[in-house]
Structure 1
């Protein structure tokens, strides 16, 4: 629900207060704002949060804050231009994504994400998979990513159709109750005795809002098991299970 703020000087600047509905209960603040402020670059959205121009229940907050039903989000006036509007989905991309759907139910989509495609728009990327899907048909307008896959990674991508499904599935991922298996073709012969890699990883966020993970001794423990599936002349096919 969008409610114009009517008191003080802020009303003249068209500050808005958005009251969170059940549909957005549990959604991250940054994802919510990116949907609300269509056409505004992600870098600008993160800057608004960082500067405290966006507030939740009159308090400063972080981008990963999980919104709750009834929360009031203060959104400052932000100009958008035609040049920054979301790019339209081409017929070729539409056909590719439709052919990549592995499963569709009333609750979710399972997509075989093509390698080389980002799951969402960002710096230098005006159209990601989720933005494209939302344009493709009416009942997909409120699709939400359950998790992410790197741009160069292909594989199963879970996309929720309903907020309650999104919350349940994200909780499963957070509590590590989801088994993940990756296949990777690596250059050279994989050492037969290398079956486990344990290197601490730390999440960092660039000024653009993009999140990256780097090996760091102060990071969280991250262990991945490996198994060689097949060896070739100058490469190996391995299975990785984090």
Structure 2
């Protein structure tokens, strides 16, 4: 594989190699940027940071794209398989304020997901305690457990398709894999969720190139920590997600 540009990661003191196509993809997906924040529409398949066999993630790439910045950190995280809104802070004071707002639930986050089956309008709020442990393959997984951490998600039906439902999910708490586990526990796992989903049922779908997890961090709103203005941002769906919606709407 040939790389176009060699970058030096000053944060972890190791060399990383980036294609120009990755740089262009990241620049194209910046939804908002000022002196204090970057709001980014993270593509599916990118981890938020390197580690566990991954050379680099979103934070390492942005530290190279914005080399002149003396500080750049993730405000929050989303799963590698999930696409959508991710916020980065350019100043430590801004990071601290955004973390405070997250703790006080002053940052509104909304996700879109396509789930198996017909989601009942009665399932508006799911409260189930979640606990992390390793499965039989010694991989970390989240389970519903009475001794787990309290977790709460609000759900709303957006549209019904053929034996699938497009829903919006608003996580009130921010547990690992919260939306994925809550939907799965109620018998409506998110389509193409390899960890918590229905992989046997999905084998019949002819979507080999588009079988990404159909979960997208769609919308965010918050008060700017410095300017004190209200910021409301919507992240467009990528082509794969839109193709899948079209596929299931016709099926």
User: What CA RMSD, in Å, does the superposition of the two structures yield over aligned residues?
Assistant: 2.5
Quote the residue 1:94 is aligned against. 23
2:69 is the counterpart of 1:146: no
- 8 A contact 1:135–1:141 mirrored in 2: no
Alignment of 1:8-47 (within 5 A): 38=12
TM superposition shift of 1:148: 0.4
1:223 matched to 2:152: yes
TM-score between both structures, scaled by the size of structure 2: 0.58
- Of 149, 173, 177, the match for 2:102: 173
Q: Which residue of the partner structure matches residue 131 of structure 1?
A: 60
| TM-score for both structures, normalised by structure 1 | 0.60
How many residues are matched?
160
What 5-or-longer segments of structure 2 have no aligned partner? Answer: 1-8, 172-251
Alpha-carbon distance in 1 for matches of 2:101, 2:48: 20
Structure 1: runs of 5 or more not aligned? 1-33, 40-84
1:94-153 CA distance string (max 9 Å, x none) = 011000000110011000111111110110111101001111132245310000011111
CA distance in 1, matches of 2:122, 2:84: 27
Larger relative contact order (CA 8 Å, sep ≥ 6): 2
- Give the equivalent residue in structure 1 for 2:44: 115
Q: Which has the higher strand share?
A: 2
What are the equivalent positions in structure 2 for 1:44-63 lying under 5 Å apart? none
CA distance in 1 between partners of 2:56 and 2:162 (Å): 39
Moved more, 188-197 or 220-229: 188-197
